[in-house]
Amino acid sequence: MHMPPMAGEQECASATMGEYRIRSYEDGDYEAARTIVSEGITEHVPAGFWLVLRSPQTHGLLLGLFLATYGISSSFLFSFAVVSALLATGWIRIKAVWRDYVEAALEGDMLDIQRTYLDPTDCHFWVVERGREVVGTVAVLHPEDPALQGRALELKRMSVKKGHRGRGLSKALTKAVLRFAQEHGYKEVVLSTTMVQYAAQRLYEGMGFQRVKELCPFLSAKLLQFYIYVYRYEIPGPR
């Protein structure tokens, strides 16, 4: 796979991206980077909700609740109201789950970007900018899995503002990570994404990442068939 050099301050090579530049994170990018990451996570709330609604388990629950309520009240209106209340509660709960995930990110690795991604050896954080506006982020970190230590790096915090998508920025940021891992002697790049991040899945699979694992972050996610997909890219060795 051909990967254009994307280290440090270099301009994007693609003619369609001439107004954009990928560079290393700087302290002045802190608020913009945190906002882009948090908004990128939050935008998947509707897709997560619709995924739950399409689940056969949800269909069974709603139907059972409607029939039970109607059997007690003999009122279609009341039964619909109870089901609607449950749906509203589910929407609030799903929003809370994603909000908790955003807070965990902002209070975790994104709290001190310099210390998390730039101070450790072989870790990094990039932004993509247009003019003086930061419009995208990506990072690379050592994976938590001990079996991958010293062999793989993990792609993290990939996000591009909505108004700047469709210009190849995510692909260029991914290539920056792959190039970095290759230059530092690693054999693999791994990443994880939720099953509702469809565009991300298409991007990674189109670039040669292979889905190697499906994880359920919590028990209720398994009941609703909500998974986190783990991807792996094997970096080609020298020819």
Q: What is the pLDDT of residue 9?
A: 39
Q: What is the mean pLDDT of residues 138-142?
A: 97
Q: What is the mean pLDDT of residues 86-90?
A: 87
**Per-domain residue ranges for the chain?**
18-27+113-234, 45-105
Q: What's the fold here for domain 18-27+113-234?
A: Aminopeptidase (3.40.630)
Of the candidates 211, 204, 219, 222, the one whose C-alpha atom is nearest the C-alpha of residue 1 is 204
* H-type alpha helices, 108-143: 113
Q: What is the pLDDT of residue 90?
A: 81
Tokens of 107: 């209070």
Q: What is the pLDDT of residue 2?
A: 39
Give me the sheet containing 133-141, strands edge to edge.
Answer: 20-24, 124-130, 133-141, 152-160, 188-194, 228-234, 210-215
Chain Cα centroid distance, residue 178 = 17
Q: Does an H or E element contain 215, and which?
A: strand 210-215
Q: What is the pLDDT of residue 4?
A: 41
Rounded Cα gap, residues 27 and 94, in angstroms? 33
Q: Where does the pLDDT of residue 216 fall: very low under 50, low under 70, confident under 90, or very high at 90 and above? A: low
Q: What is the mean pLDDT of residues 43-55?
A: 81
Q: Where does the pLDDT of residue 5 fall: very low under 50, low under 70, confident under 90, or very high at 90 and above? A: very low
Rounded Cα gap, residues 71 and 76, in angstroms? 10
Q: Where does the pLDDT of residue 239 fall: very low under 50, low under 70, confident under 90, or very high at 90 and above? A: very low
DSSP summary character for residue 3? -
DSSP summary character for residue 16? G
The pTM is what?
A: 0.82
Q: Where does the pLDDT of residue 13 fall: very low under 50, low under 70, confident under 90, or very high at 90 and above? A: very low
